[in-house]
Amino acid sequence: MRQLYEYHPVVGYRYIPRLQVRIPHEGGGYLMQVNEQGFRANRPFVRTRTPGHRRVLVFGDSFTAGDAVPNRQRYTDLLETRLPAAGTPPVEFYNFGLSSTGTDQQYLIWREFARDIEHDLVVIAVFVENIRRVAAQFRPHRDEHGIERIYAKPYFRLENDALRLCHVPPRREPFEDHELDASQAAAVDQGGRFLLLRKMVTKLGLRDMVQHLTQYQPLPHYDSPANPAWRLMRAILTQWVRALDRPVVLMPLPLPQHLDETCDAAPCQARFAELAGELGCRLHDPLPDLLRIAPETRRRLRWDKDIHFTPAGHDALARSLEPVIAAMLGAQLARAS
């Protein structure tokens, strides 16, 4: 198995700079190209804005990085080709998405790699499952031999309403089970509750049927504004948005169960709406646009076995986000003129 990542002392890891590799996948495989900064892009991310261009910085996990599709089919790359309207400047999208990261690590990516890059707008794309990653101190990843191991991740603690960064630098070597005490073992992100039951249901090919029957709520962390995991997520996003000096779009990305309408998205939607209102940033929830797509077509927005977006899914997300970006950049131009 080709190694895709290298150790990073703050974020935990990044893509190997200048990597170019074809990844096997159920869709026939896809080409991954990485720039010299260690992010999926066909060009370097430079500090100074290209003359006559606007620039949007985008942060997120694998749904933004583009797992399962080549760079050119991601929603950010599609937007770059579609946004220039007659008489408006071209728009560059710098996609800082990194697979398997939490919103905490994405905030660190901004601090380490993007803070000084000239830009006009920031999009923070939060796959709502990230709330589990933010609450975790360890996560399973595959090593260079393809074996799943437990690695430390950078994480924040919320102490007296202040964030304290921990595990920086994270340990480079994986942990063996016997090295973790009970509290550390409980802080490993296992992807949700009822791990053994979920594995059995998935192995039997009954996952979708069981979800439809039970209406299982996979993310109870959003049920209350007082939930500790949500309070931590909210604190990270608050600190991040307030540190930015340009307009921000906060975009929660739905679970597959939300797209299938087999669990209630309302708690997630409520928390992000409250947060965007408090921060005065623009909330863009793409779920209503995606749910307007006919169910049989909507199921083709993700792969059969892989939950990530297909090219059709990236296209649908780009179409949902496009008018928001166009309006915000247009308003900036109007104020400047």
Kindly list the averaged pLDDT for each block of 10 residues, start to end, along the chain of length 337.
Answer: 86 97 94 97 95 96 97 98 83 97 98 97 98 95 84 96 96 93 92 46 48 68 97 98 97 97 96 98 98 97 96 98 95 77
For residue 217, give the CATH number of its domain.
Answer: 3.40.50.1110
Count of structural domains, the chain = 1
Backbone torsion region of residue 294, taken as left when φ is above 0, otherwise alpha when ψ lies between -120 and 50, otherwise beta = beta
Does residue 274 sit in helix, strand or coil?
Answer: helix
What does the pLDDT read at residue 13?
96
Q: Which contacts qualify for 108-113: CB closer than 8 Å, 24 or more apart?
A: 108/10, 108/11, 108/154, 109/11, 109/59, 110/57, 110/59, 110/240, 111/10, 112/8, 112/10, 112/11, 113/37, 113/38, 113/39, 113/45
What does the pLDDT read at residue 215?
55
Q: Domain containing 90: what range?
A: 5-336
Let me know the angle formed at the C-alpha of 7 by 6 and 9, rounded to the nearest 5 degrees: 150
What does the pLDDT read at residue 86?
63
pTM (2 decimals)? 0.92
Strand-pair category, 121-127 with 54-59: parallel
What does the pLDDT read at residue 205?
54
